Amino acid sequence: MRTRFAPSPTGSLHVGNARVALYNWLLARKEGGEFLLRIEDTDLERSSKAFEREILRDLEWFLGWRGEVVRQSERLDIYRRYASELLAEGKAYRCYCTPEELEAMRQRQLSEGRPPRYDRRCLKLSEGERRHLEAEGRRPSLRFMVPDGAEVSFRDLIFGPQTFRAEDLGDFIILRSDGLPTYNFACVIDDHLMGISHVLRGEDHLSNTPRQLLLYEALGWQPPEFGHLPLLLGPDGKPLSKRHGPSSLGELREMGIMAVALANYLAAIGGAVKEEVLEWEGMVEGFSLAGISRRQAVFDLKRLYWFNRAHLKRARAAELKKALQDMGWEQEVRDEVIEQMKEEVSSLLDLQKLLPIFSSEGIFLSPEAEKAIEGAEGVLRLALEELSRGKDGWLDRVLKEARVGKGRVFKALRAALTGETKGPELKKVVALLDAVTIRRRIEDALRRRGWPYSFTTP
């Protein structure tokens, strides 16, 4: 078995395409096959090397993929050779129609109540007529001649039996007038030469499949098996787009989403695996084409964060350290800090934001923390006095001796020790900080307010 993922480098890789890549990767892994990458960059105006590099970086992060890349822009001679063969065999013909003529043809057919199809006006041009048109500066494209009365049927791996009438397709272009191949033609040539056995892609490509199957037949090649995945929707039931929030892999990575969590979520919402927390091995083992739903799935960030939180809790400290380093965290962090704080957060970004609390450096107080310290001089001085008696049982002693409520004590100490009024469980913070750091931060908080401090309560 051999599968592939074939993105166009015209934009960032979003979760819809990522799911296509994932399902192809999982299928190949489960069947002991190969997963290949093809960059479909024949749209020379819109394609960008910067986007290609971004796609490769995203795939390395998401699937750990590092391999050779097939680029369509480097294979143009191959497409032209096969197009010439179809032309020589009478299975394709030159078309000299301009965009304006084609649009006029389309409008006329629509006004007559007919579906717009190319009327084959260039099929029977004489050699003299072709020379005349070329003398006018017209450069021909090549059209594939769809066999009259043909019917194309195949069994989709997801949607089951499919049948298309050739008369609904019309003769379609395989090579543009600038010599560049169209999507359907290049796709067929590449999938065959790359030995692709199974193609999983979005359902928006379903209408391309009959055209591709006709090309396979004309070229005398065995087609791969096709499966089309329902498209992803936003929470409002409309096609997923930027207005639904972050959806590119780069954005999700910067938000602290783990690759395994994203994969787990994308596999689960489509029915490819059971909706449970799975590591990579579990996803490969549980992957099932038969389980993939025909219903369009909803991409919900809240549910993604649920999976992310679950995977954070399961991850080892060393794994999370590596992920944090990949996000730009350079300072050393103790394993016990990671193990305790991963229980408190839903993303790597949240975890990263907590780490400065546990460094030996000073902290910055937020405006809310500054306000929480106002009027808490007595609590903070008491905390220093009790700390002089030792850290063990310190927080309980402060709570017992304080002349204010528990909530006020916790709020003041949290503000002094973490610089925030909300965050991880205070007892965990205290347990992970040494006495010297605790003392310094409380003293700093008092100093910020201009309060003298001593070890004697008023």
**Token pair listed for 57:** 């970086």
Determine the Cα–Cα distance for residues 255 and 232; give it in Å rounded to an integer: 20
State residue 141's pLDDT score: 98
What is the CATH number assigned to the segment(s) 75-229?
Answer: 3.40.50.620
Residue 87 sits at φ, ψ, to 5 deg, of -65, -45
| Fold type of domain 2-73+232-305 | Rossmann fold (3.40.50)
What pLDDT digit, counting tens, does each position of 285-294 carry? 999 999 999 9
Determine the Cα–Cα distance for residues 298 and 77; give it in Å rounded to an integer: 42
State residue 6's pLDDT score: 98
**Token pair listed for 220:** 């005398």
Contacts of 452 (CB under 8 A, 6+ apart): 446
Helix ranges (H only) for 9-126 are: 15-30, 49-63, 76-88, 99-111
Secondary-structure percent of the chain, ordered helix, strand, coil, rounded to 5: 50, 10, 35
- What DSSP designation does 26 have? H
The domain ranges of the chain are 2-73+232-305, 75-229, 315-358, 367-448
State residue 414's pLDDT score: 96
* Catalytic, out of 238, 242, 400, 427: 242
What pLDDT digit, counting tens, does each position of 127-180 carry? 999 999 999 999 999 999 999 988 999 999 999 999 999 888 999 999 999 999
- Max alpha carbon distance in the chain (Å)? 109
Q: State the CATH class of domain 367-448.
A: mainly alpha
242 is catalytic: yes
In this predicted structure, the answer to whether residue 452 has a pLDDT above a threshold of 70 is no
Give the mean model confidence (pLDDT) for residues 307-314: 98
| CATH topology identical between 2-73+232-305 and 75-229 | yes
Mean pLDDT (the chain) is: 94
Determine the Cα–Cα distance for residues 188 and 195; give it in Å rounded to an integer: 11
Contacts of 33 (CB under 8 A, 6+ apart): 1, 2, 3, 27, 197
Q: Which residue has the tokens 């787990």?
A: 264
Determine the Cα–Cα distance for residues 186 and 82; give it in Å rounded to an integer: 10
